[in-house]
Amino acid sequence: MKRTIAIVAGGDSSEHDVSLRSAENIYSNLDKERYNVYIVEIKGLQWEAVLADGKRTTVDRNDFSFMNGEDRIHPDFAYITIHGTPGENGILQGYFDLIRLPYSSSNVLVEAMTFNKFTLNQYLKGFGVSVSESLIVRKGFEHLVTDTEIVERIGLPCFVKPNAGGSSFGVTKVKSKEEIHDAIVNAMNESDEVMIEAFMEGTEISCGCYKTRDKEVVLPITEIVTNNEFFDYDAKYNGQVQEITPARLSEETTERVRLITSTIYDILGCSGITRTDYIITRTTDKDGKEHERINMLEINTTPGMTATSFIPQQVQAAGLNMTEVLTEIIENKLS
């Protein structure tokens, strides 16, 4: 008997359409000899499964089932590829836990923590992970910190970004105190909490990872080179970036990044594919010796899976087959 896989996509954030593109790429790579595969698009309370003829059918949220002609389909597994709420912050994971449906991503706690950038940074700091200096501003409490205090504590330039979100929506690189207020307003269009983070100059990289009961896979590192102010939406999705996989790093630095990525995965207790982003900063001491620091920027627990996203690039660079990778992740939860 073939098992039925529902690729869950869409969501309620600005990343809705990007998620659908990820779903299409996952759909094309899943083993159709092994699985019956459907894409389920979620937007608010509108949950619809896409059938083979392109028609849509309503998903019953009581048990996540739907009709295909005369047959009621009960998925055996949910492959979550929603970027943003409710698929990357623990909400959907909680729902699937309640109805006892296995899914591809990490659990509720891990998803909630990794989606909240400030909380994640403070937590991992306790394990010795290097992160940038930051502070949090909450909607309705903006008056608790002044623009002058932000500059004194964080410095300029700095990044103002939604504390919960991705794909660089609502992110501003602030260069003067006068820009802070508008940047916070912009970020609050995406999230009720805004993270203000110190700017770090260096080499930006990204490293994918997944683990099963039988194996650990840390993928080749991607180096991100863009002429934009930062790795913004246009750089990510409209080609305004050079992505180099494997990254142009020394063997020693490569191994350090791979170890940190694997360690963070274990510290948090992640599941499925994750992608951890870093920036490598370099300083020179008074003796002229260069010191390198690997700073974690964020963790994506449902990373982009479009044809041009980092994870597919890294899987290819590793000489792996995406179909086999997806099968390993699914079977690790089903077996």
User: What is the pLDDT at residue 191?
Assistant: 86
Pair 166, 12: CB distance under 8 Å = no
User: What is the pLDDT at residue 319?
Assistant: 98
Q: How far is 210 from 217, CA to CA, in rounded Å? A: 5
User: Sign of torsion, CA 66 72 75 79?
Assistant: negative
Question: Which of 198, 200, 195, 173 is CA-nearest to residue 118?
Answer: 195
User: What is the pLDDT at residue 241?
Assistant: 83
Q: How far is 326 from 23, CA to CA, in rounded Å? A: 12
Q: Which residue has the tokens 């990872």?
A: 209
- The bridge status of strand 134-138 relative to strand 66-68 is unpaired
User: What is the pLDDT at residue 234?
Assistant: 53
User: What is the pLDDT at residue 3?
Assistant: 98
User: What is the pLDDT at residue 170?
Assistant: 87
**Sites in the chain below the pLDDT cut of 70:** 165-168, 228-240
pTM exceeds 0.75: yes
pLDDT one-digit tens code per residue, 209-263:
999 999 999 999 999 997 766 545 555 555 568 999 999 999 999 999 999 999 9
User: What is the pLDDT at residue 164?
Assistant: 80
User: What is the pLDDT at residue 292?
Assistant: 95
